[in-house]
Amino acid sequence: MQTNILDYLNQTAALKPDKTAFADDRDALTFGQLQAQRGAVGTWLHQKGVYREPVVVYMNRHPKEVAAFYGVVTGGCFYVPVDEEMPKGRIQLILNTVGARVIICDAATKKTAEALDFQGDIVLYDEISRTPPDQEALQSIRDRAIDTDLVYIMFTSGSTGVPKGVAVCHRSLIDYIEQLSAVMEFNEETVFGNQTPLHFDASLKEVYPTLKFGATTYLIPKNLFMFPVKLVEFLNQKRVNTICWVVSALTMVSAFGAFKTAVPEYLRTIAFGGEVFPVKQYQKWKAALPEAKFVNLYGPTEGTGVCCYYQVDREFGPDEVIPIGHSFPNKEILLINDRNQRAAQGEVGEICIRGASLALGYYNNPEKTGEAFVQNPLNTAYPERIYRTGDLGRYNERGELQFVSRKDYQIKHMGHRIELGEIEANVNALEEVKTAGCIYDKARDKILLYYEGEMEEKLVAAALKDRLPRYMIPNHICRLERMPLTANGKVDRVTLKSNYQEGKEK
Amino acid sequence: MEELLEILNDLHPDVDFETCDSLIDDKILDSFDIVTIIAEVNDRFDVTISAEKITPENFNSAEALYALIQELEDED
Protein backbone atom coordinates (compact mmCIF):
# COMPACT_ATOMS: atom_id res chain seq x y z
CA MET A 1 0.00 0.00 0.00
CA GLN A 2 1.29 3.43 -0.90
CA THR A 3 1.87 5.53 2.19
CA ASN A 4 3.80 8.52 0.83
CA ILE A 5 2.66 10.86 -1.91
CA LEU A 6 6.17 11.08 -3.38
CA ASP A 7 6.37 7.36 -4.08
CA TYR A 8 4.69 8.37 -7.33
CA LEU A 9 7.76 10.37 -8.24
CA ASN A 10 10.18 7.54 -7.35
CA GLN A 11 8.46 5.26 -9.82
CA THR A 12 8.07 7.80 -12.61
CA ALA A 13 11.58 9.25 -12.32
CA ALA A 14 13.01 5.74 -12.71
CA LEU A 15 10.91 5.04 -15.81
CA LYS A 16 11.04 8.41 -17.60
CA PRO A 17 13.80 10.56 -16.17
CA ASP A 18 14.04 12.77 -19.27
CA LYS A 19 10.38 13.52 -19.83
CA THR A 20 9.20 17.06 -19.02
CA ALA A 21 7.16 17.09 -15.85
CA PHE A 22 6.46 20.81 -15.33
CA ALA A 23 7.08 23.72 -17.65
CA ASP A 24 6.01 27.29 -18.16
CA ASP A 25 6.57 29.51 -21.19
CA ARG A 26 10.32 29.63 -20.50
CA ASP A 27 11.60 26.91 -18.19
CA ALA A 28 11.04 23.20 -17.68
CA LEU A 29 11.95 20.48 -15.20
CA THR A 30 12.10 16.78 -16.06
CA PHE A 31 11.14 14.00 -13.68
CA GLY A 32 14.83 13.24 -13.23
CA GLN A 33 15.58 16.84 -12.28
CA LEU A 34 12.65 16.93 -9.87
CA GLN A 35 13.92 13.78 -8.23
CA ALA A 36 17.44 15.19 -7.84
CA GLN A 37 16.31 18.60 -6.61
CA ARG A 38 13.89 17.27 -4.04
CA GLY A 39 16.70 15.14 -2.62
CA ALA A 40 18.91 18.21 -2.38
CA VAL A 41 16.28 20.31 -0.61
CA GLY A 42 15.38 17.43 1.71
CA THR A 43 19.03 16.99 2.62
CA TRP A 44 19.46 20.69 3.30
CA LEU A 45 16.50 20.66 5.70
CA HIS A 46 17.87 17.56 7.40
CA GLN A 47 21.27 19.19 7.89
CA LYS A 48 19.53 22.25 9.36
CA GLY A 49 17.70 20.02 11.82
CA VAL A 50 14.33 20.99 10.35
CA TYR A 51 12.04 17.97 10.59
CA ARG A 52 8.31 17.30 11.00
CA GLU A 53 7.48 20.99 10.94
CA PRO A 54 6.07 23.56 8.51
CA VAL A 55 8.32 25.10 5.86
CA VAL A 56 7.03 28.14 3.99
CA VAL A 57 7.52 28.14 0.21
CA TYR A 58 7.28 31.72 -1.06
CA MET A 59 8.09 31.66 -4.76
CA ASN A 60 6.82 32.72 -8.14
CA ARG A 61 4.58 30.23 -9.89
CA HIS A 62 7.26 28.21 -11.62
CA PRO A 63 8.35 24.55 -12.08
CA LYS A 64 10.85 25.12 -9.27
CA GLU A 65 8.04 26.03 -6.89
CA VAL A 66 6.61 22.55 -7.42
CA ALA A 67 10.08 21.06 -6.90
CA ALA A 68 10.37 23.01 -3.65
CA PHE A 69 7.11 21.43 -2.39
CA TYR A 70 8.46 17.95 -3.07
CA GLY A 71 11.77 18.87 -1.45
CA VAL A 72 10.05 19.96 1.75
CA VAL A 73 8.10 16.69 1.91
CA THR A 74 11.30 14.73 1.17
CA GLY A 75 12.81 16.35 4.26
CA GLY A 76 9.97 14.94 6.34
CA CYS A 77 8.32 18.34 6.64
CA PHE A 78 5.13 19.88 5.25
CA TYR A 79 4.97 22.85 2.93
CA VAL A 80 3.03 26.07 3.34
CA PRO A 81 2.68 27.69 -0.08
CA VAL A 82 2.54 31.47 -0.01
CA ASP A 83 1.86 33.31 -3.23
CA GLU A 84 4.05 35.98 -4.80
CA GLU A 85 0.93 38.09 -5.20
CA MET A 86 -0.30 37.83 -1.64
CA PRO A 87 -0.06 41.14 0.19
CA LYS A 88 2.45 41.42 2.98
CA GLY A 89 -0.17 41.65 5.72
CA ARG A 90 -1.69 38.32 4.78
CA ILE A 91 1.68 36.60 4.53
CA GLN A 92 2.48 37.87 8.01
CA LEU A 93 -0.75 36.40 9.39
CA ILE A 94 0.12 33.06 7.80
CA LEU A 95 3.65 33.14 9.26
CA ASN A 96 2.26 33.94 12.69
CA THR A 97 -0.17 31.04 12.45
CA VAL A 98 2.25 28.34 11.32
CA GLY A 99 5.39 29.42 13.19
CA ALA A 100 7.81 28.09 10.57
CA ARG A 101 11.59 28.35 10.96
CA VAL A 102 12.44 28.43 7.25
CA ILE A 103 11.13 30.35 4.24
CA ILE A 104 12.23 29.11 0.83
CA CYS A 105 12.30 32.00 -1.67
CA ASP A 106 13.37 32.85 -5.17
CA ALA A 107 15.25 35.93 -6.29
CA ALA A 108 12.00 37.84 -6.88
CA THR A 109 10.40 37.22 -3.48
CA LYS A 110 13.47 37.40 -1.23
CA LYS A 111 13.27 41.15 -0.64
CA THR A 112 9.65 41.06 0.44
CA ALA A 113 10.39 38.08 2.66
CA GLU A 114 13.20 39.96 4.36
CA ALA A 115 10.85 42.82 5.17
CA LEU A 116 8.54 40.49 7.12
CA ASP A 117 8.60 40.09 10.86
CA PHE A 118 10.32 36.70 10.82
CA GLN A 119 13.12 35.34 12.99
CA GLY A 120 14.01 32.19 11.02
CA ASP A 121 16.10 31.48 7.93
CA ILE A 122 15.20 32.96 4.54
CA VAL A 123 16.91 30.86 1.88
CA LEU A 124 17.04 30.82 -1.90
CA TYR A 125 15.72 27.74 -3.64
CA ASP A 126 18.52 27.93 -6.19
CA GLU A 127 21.09 27.66 -3.43
CA ILE A 128 19.64 24.89 -1.30
CA SER A 129 18.70 22.81 -4.37
CA ARG A 130 22.43 22.36 -5.01
CA THR A 131 23.04 20.58 -1.69
CA PRO A 132 24.78 17.20 -2.29
CA PRO A 133 22.17 14.60 -1.34
CA ASP A 134 22.64 12.44 1.74
CA GLN A 135 20.83 9.30 0.59
CA GLU A 136 21.19 7.55 3.91
CA ALA A 137 19.56 10.41 5.80
CA LEU A 138 16.77 10.69 3.23
CA GLN A 139 16.07 6.97 3.43
CA SER A 140 15.88 7.19 7.19
CA ILE A 141 13.41 10.08 6.96
CA ARG A 142 11.34 8.07 4.50
CA ASP A 143 11.40 4.98 6.74
CA ARG A 144 10.09 6.94 9.69
CA ALA A 145 7.31 8.67 7.74
CA ILE A 146 3.72 7.52 8.20
CA ASP A 147 0.74 8.36 6.05
CA THR A 148 -1.01 10.47 8.67
CA ASP A 149 1.92 12.92 8.63
CA LEU A 150 1.12 16.25 7.00
CA VAL A 151 2.01 17.08 3.38
CA TYR A 152 0.93 20.72 3.30
CA ILE A 153 -1.06 23.52 4.87
CA MET A 154 -3.08 25.66 2.46
CA PHE A 155 -4.79 28.81 3.60
CA THR A 156 -8.36 29.78 2.95
CA SER A 157 -10.43 32.84 3.83
CA GLY A 158 -11.51 33.16 7.47
CA SER A 159 -14.52 35.21 8.57
CA THR A 160 -12.74 36.80 11.57
CA GLY A 161 -10.07 38.33 9.34
CA VAL A 162 -7.45 35.65 9.91
CA PRO A 163 -7.05 33.05 7.15
CA LYS A 164 -7.40 29.40 8.19
CA GLY A 165 -4.68 26.85 7.41
CA VAL A 166 -6.13 23.59 6.13
CA ALA A 167 -3.75 20.77 7.13
CA VAL A 168 -3.71 17.67 4.91
CA CYS A 169 -1.85 14.37 5.35
CA HIS A 170 -0.44 11.85 2.87
CA ARG A 171 -3.30 9.39 3.24
CA SER A 172 -5.94 11.99 2.40
CA LEU A 173 -3.99 13.27 -0.56
CA ILE A 174 -3.26 9.79 -1.97
CA ASP A 175 -6.92 8.86 -1.62
CA TYR A 176 -7.90 12.05 -3.40
CA ILE A 177 -5.43 11.68 -6.28
CA GLU A 178 -6.31 8.01 -6.83
CA GLN A 179 -10.07 8.56 -6.97
CA LEU A 180 -9.84 11.74 -9.01
CA SER A 181 -7.47 10.20 -11.57
CA ALA A 182 -9.66 7.14 -12.04
CA VAL A 183 -12.82 9.16 -12.61
CA MET A 184 -11.11 11.73 -14.86
CA GLU A 185 -9.16 9.03 -16.75
CA PHE A 186 -5.84 10.82 -16.55
CA ASN A 187 -2.91 8.88 -18.02
CA GLU A 188 0.65 9.32 -19.27
CA GLU A 189 -0.59 11.06 -22.42
CA THR A 190 -2.29 13.74 -20.36
CA VAL A 191 -0.99 17.25 -20.97
CA PHE A 192 -2.38 19.57 -18.32
CA GLY A 193 -2.74 23.32 -18.71
CA ASN A 194 -2.61 24.62 -15.14
CA GLN A 195 -4.53 27.80 -14.42
CA THR A 196 -4.79 28.02 -10.62
CA PRO A 197 -1.97 29.38 -8.47
CA LEU A 198 -0.12 26.66 -6.60
CA HIS A 199 -1.27 27.77 -3.15
CA PHE A 200 -4.82 26.69 -3.99
CA ASP A 201 -5.91 23.09 -3.65
CA ALA A 202 -7.30 23.25 -7.19
CA SER A 203 -3.71 22.91 -8.43
CA LEU A 204 -3.38 19.49 -6.74
CA LYS A 205 -5.24 18.09 -9.76
CA GLU A 206 -2.14 18.75 -11.84
CA VAL A 207 0.68 18.71 -9.29
CA TYR A 208 0.21 15.06 -8.22
CA PRO A 209 -1.38 13.19 -11.16
CA THR A 210 1.56 14.47 -13.22
CA LEU A 211 3.84 12.44 -10.93
CA LYS A 212 1.56 9.43 -10.77
CA PHE A 213 1.32 8.97 -14.53
CA GLY A 214 4.42 10.66 -15.81
CA ALA A 215 2.19 13.23 -17.51
CA THR A 216 3.18 16.83 -18.27
CA THR A 217 1.85 20.06 -16.81
CA TYR A 218 2.25 23.49 -18.37
CA LEU A 219 1.89 26.34 -15.92
CA ILE A 220 0.03 28.84 -18.09
CA PRO A 221 1.33 32.40 -17.59
CA LYS A 222 -1.24 34.35 -15.64
CA ASN A 223 -1.41 37.29 -18.03
CA LEU A 224 -2.70 35.01 -20.80
CA PHE A 225 -5.95 34.81 -18.86
CA MET A 226 -6.53 38.41 -19.87
CA PHE A 227 -6.05 37.76 -23.57
CA PRO A 228 -8.29 34.92 -24.75
CA VAL A 229 -6.91 34.44 -28.26
CA LYS A 230 -3.34 34.31 -27.00
CA LEU A 231 -4.45 31.82 -24.36
CA VAL A 232 -5.95 29.47 -26.92
CA GLU A 233 -2.83 29.79 -29.05
CA PHE A 234 -0.72 28.77 -26.05
CA LEU A 235 -2.91 25.69 -25.48
CA ASN A 236 -2.45 24.70 -29.10
CA GLN A 237 1.27 25.32 -29.13
CA LYS A 238 1.76 23.09 -26.07
CA ARG A 239 -0.84 20.54 -27.22
CA VAL A 240 -2.70 20.80 -23.94
CA ASN A 241 -5.45 18.17 -23.80
CA THR A 242 -6.75 18.53 -20.24
CA ILE A 243 -7.75 21.60 -18.26
CA CYS A 244 -9.27 21.96 -14.80
CA TRP A 245 -10.06 25.66 -14.55
CA VAL A 246 -12.23 27.92 -12.50
CA VAL A 247 -15.40 28.90 -14.29
CA SER A 248 -14.39 32.55 -14.67
CA ALA A 249 -11.32 31.53 -16.72
CA LEU A 250 -13.43 29.42 -19.07
CA THR A 251 -16.06 32.13 -19.33
CA MET A 252 -13.44 34.71 -20.22
CA VAL A 253 -12.58 32.69 -23.34
CA SER A 254 -16.11 31.91 -24.47
CA ALA A 255 -17.86 35.18 -23.54
CA PHE A 256 -15.40 37.25 -25.58
CA GLY A 257 -15.94 35.11 -28.63
CA ALA A 258 -12.39 33.75 -28.83
CA PHE A 259 -13.60 30.60 -30.58
CA LYS A 260 -14.38 32.62 -33.70
CA THR A 261 -10.65 33.23 -34.05
CA ALA A 262 -9.07 30.16 -32.47
CA VAL A 263 -10.19 26.78 -31.10
CA PRO A 264 -8.15 24.71 -28.62
CA GLU A 265 -7.80 21.79 -30.98
CA TYR A 266 -6.10 19.27 -28.68
CA LEU A 267 -8.45 19.68 -25.71
CA ARG A 268 -10.32 16.49 -24.76
CA THR A 269 -11.13 16.97 -21.08
CA ILE A 270 -12.51 20.16 -19.62
CA ALA A 271 -13.17 20.17 -15.91
CA PHE A 272 -14.61 23.22 -14.23
CA GLY A 273 -15.35 24.26 -10.70
CA GLY A 274 -15.18 26.98 -8.11
CA GLU A 275 -18.62 28.22 -8.97
CA VAL A 276 -21.63 27.52 -11.18
CA PHE A 277 -20.85 27.40 -14.91
CA PRO A 278 -23.51 29.48 -16.69
CA VAL A 279 -25.21 27.17 -19.19
CA LYS A 280 -24.91 29.75 -21.95
CA GLN A 281 -21.13 29.75 -21.65
CA TYR A 282 -20.97 25.98 -21.28
CA GLN A 283 -22.87 25.67 -24.55
CA LYS A 284 -20.32 27.83 -26.36
CA TRP A 285 -17.55 25.54 -25.16
CA LYS A 286 -19.54 22.45 -26.09
CA ALA A 287 -20.21 23.85 -29.56
CA ALA A 288 -16.51 24.58 -30.09
CA LEU A 289 -15.44 21.16 -28.74
CA PRO A 290 -18.32 18.75 -29.34
CA GLU A 291 -16.16 15.63 -28.78
CA ALA A 292 -14.69 16.73 -25.47
CA LYS A 293 -15.65 15.49 -22.02
CA PHE A 294 -17.01 18.18 -19.67
CA VAL A 295 -16.95 17.56 -15.95
CA ASN A 296 -18.34 19.76 -13.20
CA LEU A 297 -16.24 19.48 -10.02
CA TYR A 298 -17.25 20.55 -6.56
CA GLY A 299 -15.57 20.48 -3.20
CA PRO A 300 -13.95 22.56 -0.46
CA THR A 301 -10.26 22.71 0.48
CA GLU A 302 -11.16 20.89 3.71
CA GLY A 303 -12.02 17.78 1.69
CA THR A 304 -8.44 17.93 0.27
CA GLY A 305 -9.80 18.71 -3.17
CA VAL A 306 -13.06 18.17 -4.94
CA CYS A 307 -15.47 15.62 -3.50
CA CYS A 308 -18.27 15.55 -6.11
CA TYR A 309 -18.35 15.38 -9.86
CA TYR A 310 -20.82 15.36 -12.67
CA GLN A 311 -19.85 14.46 -16.20
CA VAL A 312 -22.22 16.39 -18.42
CA ASP A 313 -24.31 13.76 -20.22
CA ARG A 314 -27.35 15.66 -21.43
CA GLU A 315 -28.52 18.98 -22.81
CA PHE A 316 -29.20 21.87 -20.45
CA GLY A 317 -31.64 24.71 -20.97
CA PRO A 318 -30.45 28.27 -20.30
CA ASP A 319 -32.39 28.46 -17.03
CA GLU A 320 -31.19 25.10 -15.73
CA VAL A 321 -28.25 24.56 -13.39
CA ILE A 322 -25.57 21.95 -14.06
CA PRO A 323 -25.62 19.66 -10.99
CA ILE A 324 -22.59 18.77 -8.87
CA GLY A 325 -23.62 15.16 -9.24
CA HIS A 326 -22.25 12.41 -7.04
CA SER A 327 -19.42 11.86 -4.62
CA PHE A 328 -16.15 10.37 -5.83
CA PRO A 329 -15.64 6.73 -4.79
CA ASN A 330 -14.48 6.10 -1.21
CA LYS A 331 -16.24 9.07 0.28
CA GLU A 332 -19.80 9.94 1.11
CA ILE A 333 -21.80 13.11 0.96
CA LEU A 334 -24.31 13.47 3.77
CA LEU A 335 -27.06 15.99 3.30
CA ILE A 336 -27.97 17.06 6.84
CA ASN A 337 -31.05 19.16 7.55
CA ASP A 338 -31.40 21.71 10.37
CA ARG A 339 -32.69 19.00 12.73
CA ASN A 340 -29.38 17.16 12.28
CA GLN A 341 -31.05 14.38 10.32
CA ARG A 342 -30.54 13.12 6.82
CA ALA A 343 -32.49 15.44 4.49
CA ALA A 344 -35.49 13.82 2.82
CA GLN A 345 -35.78 13.55 -0.98
CA GLY A 346 -36.02 17.07 -2.37
CA GLU A 347 -35.32 18.70 0.99
CA VAL A 348 -32.49 21.23 1.35
CA GLY A 349 -29.66 20.25 3.67
CA GLU A 350 -26.08 21.15 4.45
CA ILE A 351 -23.53 19.30 2.34
CA CYS A 352 -21.28 17.30 4.70
CA ILE A 353 -18.38 15.05 3.73
CA ARG A 354 -17.03 11.92 5.34
CA GLY A 355 -14.09 9.81 4.28
CA ALA A 356 -10.32 9.44 4.27
CA SER A 357 -9.75 12.53 2.17
CA LEU A 358 -10.98 14.91 4.90
CA ALA A 359 -8.29 17.33 6.02
CA LEU A 360 -7.04 16.83 9.58
CA GLY A 361 -8.23 20.31 10.58
CA TYR A 362 -7.11 23.95 10.72
CA TYR A 363 -3.51 24.31 11.82
CA ASN A 364 -3.12 25.87 15.25
CA ASN A 365 -6.81 26.62 15.37
CA PRO A 366 -8.71 24.11 17.52
CA GLU A 367 -11.69 26.43 17.85
CA LYS A 368 -12.44 26.73 14.12
CA THR A 369 -11.57 23.07 13.65
CA GLY A 370 -14.14 22.10 16.25
CA GLU A 371 -16.82 24.18 14.57
CA ALA A 372 -16.44 22.67 11.10
CA PHE A 373 -15.03 19.17 11.67
CA VAL A 374 -17.66 17.58 13.85
CA GLN A 375 -18.99 14.21 14.98
CA ASN A 376 -21.25 12.63 12.38
CA PRO A 377 -24.72 13.34 13.84
CA LEU A 378 -26.04 10.14 12.25
CA ASN A 379 -23.54 8.03 14.18
CA THR A 380 -23.65 7.91 17.98
CA ALA A 381 -21.72 4.65 18.32
CA TYR A 382 -18.07 5.68 17.80
CA PRO A 383 -16.02 8.80 17.01
CA GLU A 384 -16.37 9.71 13.36
CA ARG A 385 -15.53 13.12 11.94
CA ILE A 386 -17.38 14.77 9.13
CA TYR A 387 -16.77 18.18 7.60
CA ARG A 388 -19.69 20.60 7.42
CA THR A 389 -19.15 22.66 4.26
CA GLY A 390 -21.68 25.41 5.00
CA ASP A 391 -22.99 24.85 1.47
CA LEU A 392 -26.65 23.99 1.08
CA GLY A 393 -27.69 21.39 -1.45
CA ARG A 394 -30.58 19.27 -2.59
CA TYR A 395 -31.02 16.11 -4.66
CA ASN A 396 -32.92 16.63 -7.89
CA GLU A 397 -35.45 14.13 -9.27
CA ARG A 398 -32.61 12.28 -11.03
CA GLY A 399 -30.84 11.76 -7.71
CA GLU A 400 -28.07 14.24 -8.57
CA LEU A 401 -26.81 16.64 -5.96
CA GLN A 402 -27.42 20.29 -6.69
CA PHE A 403 -25.79 23.29 -5.06
CA VAL A 404 -28.42 25.68 -3.66
CA SER A 405 -26.65 28.46 -1.73
CA ARG A 406 -24.42 29.30 1.21
CA LYS A 407 -25.53 29.22 4.85
CA ASP A 408 -23.42 32.24 5.79
CA TYR A 409 -21.53 35.20 4.33
CA GLN A 410 -19.10 33.19 2.33
CA ILE A 411 -19.17 33.99 -1.38
CA LYS A 412 -17.54 32.76 -4.56
CA HIS A 413 -16.09 35.61 -6.57
CA MET A 414 -14.19 34.93 -9.78
CA GLY A 415 -13.73 31.36 -8.56
CA HIS A 416 -12.27 32.34 -5.20
CA ARG A 417 -13.76 31.48 -1.87
CA ILE A 418 -14.14 34.62 0.20
CA GLU A 419 -15.60 35.39 3.62
CA LEU A 420 -17.15 38.87 3.46
CA GLY A 421 -16.34 39.04 7.17
CA GLU A 422 -12.63 38.84 6.37
CA ILE A 423 -12.88 41.92 4.15
CA GLU A 424 -14.88 43.79 6.80
CA ALA A 425 -12.41 42.86 9.53
CA ASN A 426 -9.58 44.27 7.44
CA VAL A 427 -11.44 47.51 6.74
CA ASN A 428 -12.39 47.86 10.38
CA ALA A 429 -8.72 47.51 11.25
CA LEU A 430 -7.96 50.79 9.41
CA GLU A 431 -7.57 53.51 11.98
CA GLU A 432 -9.87 56.09 10.42
CA VAL A 433 -12.69 53.69 9.70
CA LYS A 434 -15.50 53.36 12.22
CA THR A 435 -17.55 50.49 10.80
CA ALA A 436 -17.62 48.59 7.55
CA GLY A 437 -20.16 46.39 5.82
CA CYS A 438 -19.71 44.27 2.72
CA ILE A 439 -22.34 42.92 0.39
CA TYR A 440 -22.13 40.88 -2.77
CA ASP A 441 -24.07 41.43 -5.98
CA LYS A 442 -24.26 37.92 -7.30
CA ALA A 443 -25.85 38.80 -10.63
CA ARG A 444 -23.02 41.16 -11.54
CA ASP A 445 -20.32 39.34 -9.52
CA LYS A 446 -19.32 42.46 -7.63
CA ILE A 447 -18.19 42.95 -4.04
CA LEU A 448 -19.43 46.25 -2.59
CA LEU A 449 -17.91 47.83 0.46
CA TYR A 450 -19.63 50.50 2.58
CA TYR A 451 -17.99 52.18 5.51
CA GLU A 452 -18.37 55.03 7.93
CA GLY A 453 -15.28 57.02 8.84
CA GLU A 454 -12.90 59.85 8.04
CA MET A 455 -10.83 58.03 5.48
CA GLU A 456 -11.14 58.84 1.77
CA GLU A 457 -12.36 56.06 -0.51
CA LYS A 458 -9.19 56.20 -2.56
CA LEU A 459 -7.07 55.67 0.55
CA VAL A 460 -9.21 52.78 1.73
CA ALA A 461 -8.67 51.10 -1.64
CA ALA A 462 -4.93 51.60 -1.45
CA ALA A 463 -4.74 50.38 2.17
CA LEU A 464 -6.68 47.23 1.36
CA LYS A 465 -4.24 46.32 -1.37
CA ASP A 466 -1.59 45.88 1.34
CA ARG A 467 -3.79 43.63 3.40
CA LEU A 468 -5.92 41.51 1.10
CA PRO A 469 -5.32 39.40 -1.99
CA ARG A 470 -6.34 41.05 -5.19
CA TYR A 471 -9.50 39.01 -5.67
CA MET A 472 -10.80 40.17 -2.28
CA ILE A 473 -10.53 43.88 -3.04
CA PRO A 474 -14.08 45.28 -3.30
CA ASN A 475 -15.15 46.30 -6.80
CA HIS A 476 -16.85 49.35 -5.44
CA ILE A 477 -16.06 51.32 -2.29
CA CYS A 478 -18.48 53.85 -0.89
CA ARG A 479 -18.26 56.05 2.19
CA LEU A 480 -21.52 56.54 4.09
CA GLU A 481 -22.57 59.33 6.41
CA ARG A 482 -24.06 56.73 8.67
CA MET A 483 -23.90 52.94 8.59
CA PRO A 484 -27.32 51.28 8.87
CA LEU A 485 -27.38 49.08 11.95
CA THR A 486 -29.68 46.32 13.12
CA ALA A 487 -31.56 46.46 16.42
CA ASN A 488 -28.70 44.79 18.24
CA GLY A 489 -26.13 47.14 16.78
CA LYS A 490 -24.66 44.99 14.00
CA VAL A 491 -24.08 46.20 10.45
CA ASP A 492 -27.38 45.84 8.64
CA ARG A 493 -26.44 44.05 5.44
CA VAL A 494 -30.08 43.71 4.43
CA THR A 495 -30.57 47.48 4.36
CA LEU A 496 -27.24 47.97 2.57
CA LYS A 497 -28.39 45.53 -0.04
CA SER A 498 -31.82 47.05 -0.57
CA ASN A 499 -30.32 50.58 -0.76
CA TYR A 500 -27.89 49.30 -3.35
CA GLN A 501 -30.66 47.65 -5.39
CA GLU A 502 -32.76 50.83 -5.29
CA GLY A 503 -29.77 52.94 -6.30
CA LYS A 504 -29.21 50.71 -9.28
CA GLU A 505 -32.80 50.99 -10.43
CA LYS A 506 -32.78 54.79 -10.36
CA MET B 1 -12.53 59.87 -22.60
CA GLU B 2 -14.11 61.21 -19.38
CA GLU B 3 -16.46 58.29 -19.26
CA LEU B 4 -13.69 55.75 -19.83
CA LEU B 5 -11.59 57.31 -17.08
CA GLU B 6 -14.56 57.02 -14.77
CA ILE B 7 -14.77 53.28 -15.43
CA LEU B 8 -11.05 52.88 -14.82
CA ASN B 9 -10.94 55.05 -11.72
CA ASP B 10 -13.76 53.10 -10.23
CA LEU B 11 -11.59 49.98 -10.52
CA HIS B 12 -8.38 51.52 -9.19
CA PRO B 13 -8.93 54.89 -7.49
CA ASP B 14 -5.21 55.00 -6.68
CA VAL B 15 -3.92 54.84 -10.27
CA ASP B 16 -3.39 57.87 -12.54
CA PHE B 17 -4.92 56.57 -15.74
CA GLU B 18 -4.36 59.78 -17.68
CA THR B 19 -0.60 59.28 -17.69
CA CYS B 20 0.03 55.58 -17.05
CA ASP B 21 1.01 53.70 -20.21
CA SER B 22 2.09 50.38 -18.68
CA LEU B 23 -1.18 49.07 -17.28
CA ILE B 24 -0.47 45.56 -18.52
CA ASP B 25 3.33 45.57 -18.44
CA ASP B 26 3.36 46.64 -14.80
CA LYS B 27 0.53 44.25 -13.87
CA ILE B 28 -1.74 47.07 -12.75
CA LEU B 29 -4.68 45.55 -14.56
CA ASP B 30 -5.48 41.87 -14.13
CA SER B 31 -8.00 39.54 -15.64
CA PHE B 32 -10.77 40.68 -13.26
CA ASP B 33 -10.25 44.22 -14.46
CA ILE B 34 -10.21 43.29 -18.13
CA VAL B 35 -13.51 41.45 -17.78
CA THR B 36 -15.06 44.40 -15.94
CA ILE B 37 -13.72 47.00 -18.37
CA ILE B 38 -14.99 45.13 -21.39
CA ALA B 39 -18.45 44.71 -19.84
CA GLU B 40 -18.62 48.39 -18.84
CA VAL B 41 -17.37 49.64 -22.20
CA ASN B 42 -19.94 47.42 -23.84
CA ASP B 43 -22.68 48.92 -21.64
CA ARG B 44 -21.78 52.56 -21.85
CA PHE B 45 -20.32 52.97 -25.34
CA ASP B 46 -22.44 50.35 -27.05
CA VAL B 47 -19.46 48.77 -28.80
CA THR B 48 -18.33 45.16 -28.64
CA ILE B 49 -14.65 44.51 -28.17
CA SER B 50 -14.06 41.22 -29.97
CA ALA B 51 -11.55 38.62 -28.77
CA GLU B 52 -8.84 39.47 -31.29
CA LYS B 53 -8.89 43.11 -30.12
CA ILE B 54 -8.25 42.05 -26.52
CA THR B 55 -4.48 42.41 -26.66
CA PRO B 56 -1.84 43.81 -24.29
CA GLU B 57 -1.27 46.76 -26.65
CA ASN B 58 -4.90 47.87 -26.59
CA PHE B 59 -5.11 47.77 -22.80
CA ASN B 60 -1.75 49.19 -21.81
CA SER B 61 -3.08 52.75 -21.46
CA ALA B 62 -6.40 54.56 -21.22
CA GLU B 63 -5.41 56.37 -24.41
CA ALA B 64 -4.89 53.16 -26.40
CA LEU B 65 -8.17 51.77 -25.10
CA TYR B 66 -9.99 54.95 -26.00
CA ALA B 67 -8.53 54.83 -29.51
CA LEU B 68 -9.86 51.29 -29.84
CA ILE B 69 -13.33 52.37 -28.70
CA GLN B 70 -13.37 55.18 -31.23
CA GLU B 71 -12.25 52.85 -33.97
CA LEU B 72 -15.08 50.47 -33.09
CA GLU B 73 -17.61 53.32 -32.91
CA ASP B 74 -16.59 54.45 -36.40
CA GLU B 75 -17.17 50.96 -37.76
CA ASP B 76 -20.83 51.01 -36.72
Is it the case that residue A144 has pLDDT exceeding 70? yes
Does B24 contact chain A (CB < 8 Å)? yes
Look at A457 and A187; give whichever has higher pLDDT: A187
Nearest-CA distance from B47 to chain A in Å? 13
What does the alpha-carbon distance between residue A21 and residue A63 come to, in Å, rounded to a whole number?
A: 8
- Across all residues in chain A, what is the average pLDDT? 94
Nearest to B13 among A227, A461, A470 (CB): A461
Does residue A223 belong to the interface with chain B, where contact is any CB pair within 8 Å? yes
Is ipTM > 0.85 here? yes
How far CA A485 is from CA of A435, A437, A441, A489, in Å, comes to 10, 10, 20, 5
The pTM for the full model equals 0.91
- State whether residue B34 sits within 8 Å of chain A by CB: yes
Contacts of A248 in chain B (CB under 8 A): 31, 35
Q: What is the pLDDT of residues A87-143, one digit of tens each?
A: 899 999 999 999 999 999 999 999 999 999 999 999 999 999 999 999 999 999 999
Which pLDDT tens digit goes with each residue over A404-425?
988 888 898 888 889 898 999 8
Q: Give pLDDT, residue A318.
A: 80
Q: Tens digit of pLDDT for each residue in B17-75?
A: 999 999 999 888 988 889 889 988 988 898 999 999 999 999 999 999 999 999 998 88
Alpha-carbon gap, residue A304 to A370, rounded angstroms: 17
Residue A261 contacts B where some CB pair is shorter than 8 Å: yes
Three-state SS at A305: coil
- Residue A390, pLDDT score: 93
The answer, yes or no, to whether residue A159 has pLDDT greater than 90, is no
For A150-164, what is the mean pLDDT?
92
Contact predicate A501/A443, CB 8 Å: no
In the chain, the amino acid numbered A38 is R
Q: How far is CA A475 from CA A17, A79, A247, in A?
A: 47, 32, 19
A226 and B52 in contact by Cβ < 8 A? no
